[in-house]
Structure 1
């Protein structure tokens, strides 16, 4: 059968009343779970997996997939409104989403996120259906050296987060990498920087750090300013202007392709895609200085990349049986529970299930758009609550999320400590984004670097000997030098312009 016939049959499977009902239930539950700090899509899918055992395999997998991308959008809601991302990938959306909320544009930020997610999700689903084998061939070219170079490229892009002082961005990225080394070395099993404290054997928790750096630090900053008033939001503020829609749609289209490709790389994940999406849009923007201050493209770019990467992660999962992310690893377990084995034969032996599942992705994204666009003003109205009532609730939710991860006070102390650090960083102009990026990419970079050097018997030239790796390293070098070169060129242009001004004018 040709691809079009399989797609039609997949939609016939996905639109059955039972599958539609459980797809809707999945995205609704996912949205609620995603809004809760410290949970995220992997936890949401794991919690609700036992509840799907009694369902038909295709229905259960459609519901679990709905929970997956429902969590992604739910995490965006809490990131935009209270600077507390429910999922690591939503940290990037918060960089501009939260400033928009503080400017009374929370509904527009949430609407832009929903629209960008739908557009990029649609593109990535078409790519998943039409070009999965071709993308799989490209993805398989990315071995350990290529993945190391790709991650290094992402790390070197942090210089752009502080155009006036790239050193601050790089230093925060290095600090994030250093924090990521705390704990048991995955290669040797030796403890690093644990100081014989059992709590440090597992390293610092990512969610606790994010809660501290953003939620706790933001409350401290607002309280320190004094006189904070509730943010005025109006229901008509949700309506995007034609220009704002264009600034949402264009990044979403670009990130639909980029996010899908990054998501298709085994182990890359939506967080890396979101960072690349944000940095790409910042560099393409005519107003890069507005990023981080409430730029709508800074919401649409990472949100589109995030959603596209979520769909892209199913490429290695469905075609090779290799999870593309932590959540798809849990979904892979769900396949096995139902007696299914993802891999090259899945689409041949179980075409109704495979294509029905892929078709349900688009239906689930449509449900999310239909549900969350009308609800965006209602979510935004939370910010009308006076700060003297809102701040204690934010702190309570943040610390409850930090505690719930391991059910012990250690997470709470970590969140408070990084809250103080985040407050000081904000006060002295050090961006938290590079620290988060280093923390996210550090363990994976270390693992891929170790594998690369094992393959080459310790020869670092392997990174230049592999063409894809060499190109990625060259791009990273360009990104590293770009802020300095741009600043030098601008200063010379200004100097020459001043030199040509006639005397006496």
Structure 2
């Protein structure tokens, strides 16, 4: 009964006109940021932090949270329509989403991404509300050995994810590790492979690489063709609703993606990006049903699973922040900054000393998810 009374308190806070307005502003901004490749929620929240000085603490955090999980929705739009991942966690959606668009099924792909995201977002918020404290204890048990194992699992997953030559897949992983060495060493503070270029001291951003590989590569390849052979989508997206067969295939993928995203979102460094890649890897290993399109050729499961996972991961990444004051990723670190601006100490005491903020933020996520599915569809 405590959960029901706490949620009723939260919805009472979230349903005030000012908080509904800022939830909508956050969701709208997040969607637009997700659609714009290369911007991302980190830069947006960083730029908007000074603007939150004048806002009430609950409204400010509701808006910033809306930007974060809203970007996970918006990132799939350009990934599906124009082969440009708007957000780093949408990179894997490009593989099958764009192929569906090329086959004239952009509408079902967008609807599958939106509906999968909505379901996963709602489940992720429910987990945040009901299991925040015990789930954080699980994350605490992860030490150096577990994180090393998780990284190795990620690298193995990248090999499994790749199609074609195994040698090429391993070569690209080694190249990725070499690119990851560029930047400032965490322990010594020495710049590695920056070649006296100040911009390289922060390292090479993942979204920059994704834009180059997926975005500009596609643009250059398109421009290299004669005008009549170029792929340009000028028609309106029609027939949004997936077919009955699509729904049958989507449902298990959404469930698996949501479960994976919810678990990986709690772990520091996990969140939306790792969740999306892990979910796609799992789907690829799942047996194809008779008559189902292969992965990489426009399989709807390749869209719904990662989109569900990245949304569930973005919601559950609030668990270590709100219960322990430990930010699991860069966006959550900025949320800590926003809380500090308003004299709120992130940690277990937030739940007891400021229940309106804690439960109001959680309730606003359900409202935000409903706003986002309408906005995106």
**Pairwise same-fold verdict (TM > 0.5):** yes
How has the CA–CA distance of structure 1 residues 196 and 334 changed in structure 2, closer, same or farther, with 3 Å as cutoff?
Answer: closer
Q: So what's the TM-score if we normalise by structure 2?
A: 0.93
How has the CA–CA distance of structure 1 residues 341 and 213 changed in structure 2, closer, same or farther, with 3 Å as cutoff?
Answer: same
- Count of residues in Structure 1 that have an aligned counterpart in Structure 2: 373
Quote the offset at 1:233 in angstroms: 4.5
Provide structure 1 residue ranges, at least 5 long, that are not aligned to the other structure: 374-505
1:361 pairs, out of 353, 360, 365, with 365
Aligned to 1:142: 142
Quote the offset at 1:276 in angstroms: 0.6
Aligned to 2:243: 241
Partner Cα distance (1:233, 1:161) in 2: 32
Structure 1 contact 320–344 (Cα < 8 Å) conserved: yes
Choose 1 or 2 for highest CA Rg.
1
- For the aligned residues, what is the CA RMSD? 2.0
Aligned to 1:261: 263
Aligned to 1:104: 104
Aligned positions of 1:46-65 closer than 5 A:
46-65=46-65
Aligned positions of 1:8-19 closer than 5 A:
8-19=8-19
1:350 pairs, out of 341, 347, 354, with 354
Deviations 1:346-400 (A, max 9, x none): 1111112101101111110010011211xxxxxxxxxxxxxxxxxxxxxxxxxxx
How has the CA–CA distance of structure 1 residues 199 and 298 changed in structure 2, closer, same or farther, with 3 Å as cutoff?
Answer: same
Aligned to 1:277: 279
How has the CA–CA distance of structure 1 residues 289 and 100 changed in structure 2, closer, same or farther, with 3 Å as cutoff?
Answer: closer
Aligned to 2:319: 315
Aligned to 2:122: 122
Q: Are 2:185 and 1:185 aligned?
A: yes
Aligned to 1:201: 201
User: What SS class does the counterpart of residue 286 from structure 1 fall into?
Assistant: coil
Partner Cα distance (1:117, 1:254) in 2: 13
How has the CA–CA distance of structure 1 residues 104 and 59 changed in structure 2, closer, same or farther, with 3 Å as cutoff?
Answer: same
Structure 1 contact 44–71 (Cα < 8 Å) conserved: no
Quote the offset at 1:281 in angstroms: 1.4
Q: So what's the TM-score if we normalise by structure 1?
A: 0.70
Deviations 1:80-119 (A, max 9, x none): 2222222211111122112222222222221111101001
Quote the offset at 1:42 in angstroms: 1.1
Aligned to 2:217: 217
Structure 2 contact 222–231 (Cα < 8 Å) conserved: no
Partner Cα distance (1:10, 1:197) in 2: 49
Partner Cα distance (1:316, 1:13) in 2: 22
Partner Cα distance (2:198, 2:338) in 1: 33
Structure 2 contact 106–237 (Cα < 8 Å) conserved: no
Aligned to 2:333: 329
Structure 2 contact 288–294 (Cα < 8 Å) conserved: no
Structure 1 contact 273–305 (Cα < 8 Å) conserved: yes
How has the CA–CA distance of structure 1 residues 229 and 81 changed in structure 2, closer, same or farther, with 3 Å as cutoff?
Answer: closer
How has the CA–CA distance of structure 1 residues 44 and 165 changed in structure 2, closer, same or farther, with 3 Å as cutoff?
Answer: same
Structure 1 contact 103–231 (Cα < 8 Å) conserved: no
Partner Cα distance (1:52, 1:164) in 2: 49
How has the CA–CA distance of structure 1 residues 195 and 16 changed in structure 2, closer, same or farther, with 3 Å as cutoff?
Answer: closer
How has the CA–CA distance of structure 1 residues 247 and 233 changed in structure 2, closer, same or farther, with 3 Å as cutoff?
Answer: farther
Aligned to 2:345: 341
Partner Cα distance (1:122, 1:33) in 2: 21
Partner Cα distance (2:56, 2:193) in 1: 48
Structure 2 contact 261–271 (Cα < 8 Å) conserved: no
Quote the offset at 1:164 in angstroms: 4.3
Quote the offset at 1:228 in angstroms: 2.1
Structure 2 contact 24–368 (Cα < 8 Å) conserved: yes
How has the CA–CA distance of structure 1 residues 125 and 198 changed in structure 2, closer, same or farther, with 3 Å as cutoff?
Answer: closer
Aligned to 1:38: 38
Partner Cα distance (2:336, 2:181) in 1: 29
Structure 1 contact 123–253 (Cα < 8 Å) conserved: no
Quote the offset at 1:234 in angstroms: 5.3
Partner Cα distance (1:361, 1:4) in 2: 16
Partner Cα distance (1:342, 1:145) in 2: 27
Quote the offset at 1:194 in angstroms: 3.6
Quote the offset at 1:204 in angstroms: 2.6
